[in-house]
Structure 1
Amino acid sequence: MTARRKARKRALDVLYQADLRGEPRGSVLTAYVANLEEPKPSYLPYTVQLVEGVESHAVRIDELLASYAEGWTLERMPVVDRNLARIAVYELLYNDEIDNPVAITEAVELAETLSTDDSPRFLNGILGRIADYAT
């Protein structure tokens, strides 16, 4: 698993926990980082960037997801899918270091192992539409 994929997975863990428990993302991130043993993993800065990026752009990210998720509300999406989509949309719109196909592929591949059978196709569709909007 690449360092960035590990970072995405850990960011997903933080966002998932915050979403599921209704806790502030920043508080969950702070607790996660505090509980890591030394030496801290090399992917930690990107994990922090992803969580903080999703947090700082949450309103816009959720607006886009709600408008491009044909027939789905954010609340109806599985928690894993919702947060994978948030990470990917952050990368699509706000991280110039990540190419759009990479952001989409990473979300889809994580969904293949962590979510429902329909999730990869769902995420690919919604993220593809958002990527088209962003370009």
Structure 2
Amino acid sequence: MRARTKARKRALDILFESEARGDAPLDVLAHRRETADAPPVSDYAVMLVEGVVANQERIDQLLAEHAEGWTVARMPAVDRTLLRIGVFELLWVDEIDDAVAISEAVELARMLSTDDSPRFLNGVLGRIADIGEHLRAAR
């Protein structure tokens, strides 16, 4: 597994855990970084967690607008978290190509979520990527 793929998986783990436990994501992140027996948390994973947290309101708004037939709260937790990471990468991480952000999210969904999840994530992220230039200009 490539370094950024591992970082995305680690960010997913942290954000998923924080939501499942009702803990603040930055607290879970800090705990993971301080725990000696936990796998290391790369700088890229830290940036993803911090970026999703800082922009979650806008990210969830975009997900609600572009996930046809789904509310954010009704999405499976893994899919919701992967979508948040994917949207953050699409709109706030300039060094990642849109196609890479989408394919990485889809691949993680293929490994960790339902059979329908890869197609769902691809559709939602693709719609957001299509208007990404406009969205980036508006922030």
Q: Place the TM-score, normalised by the shorter chain, in its bin.
A: over 0.9
Unaligned regions of 5+ residues in structure 2, if any?
Answer: 134-139
Corresponding letter in the other structure for 1:63: Q
Q: TM-score, normalised by structure 1?
A: 0.94
Q: Which residue of the partner structure matches residue 58 of structure 2? A: 60
% identity of equivalent residues: 59
Q: Which residue of the partner structure matches residue 137 of structure 2? A: none
Give the root-mean-square deviation of aligned CA atoms: 1.4
Corresponding letter in the other structure for 1:10: R
CA distance in 2, matches of 1:22, 1:125: 29
Matches within 5 A, 1:1-135: 1-37=1-37, 41=40, 44-135=42-133
Match of 1:46, SS state, is helix
Deviations 1:34-70 (A, max 9, x none): 11459x84x6100100000000111110100111011
Deviations 1:53-108 (A, max 9, x none): 00011111010011101110111100000000000100000000100000000000
Unaligned regions of 5+ residues in structure 1, if any?
Answer: none
Stretches (4+) displaced over 6 A: none
Q: TM-score, normalised by structure 2?
A: 0.92
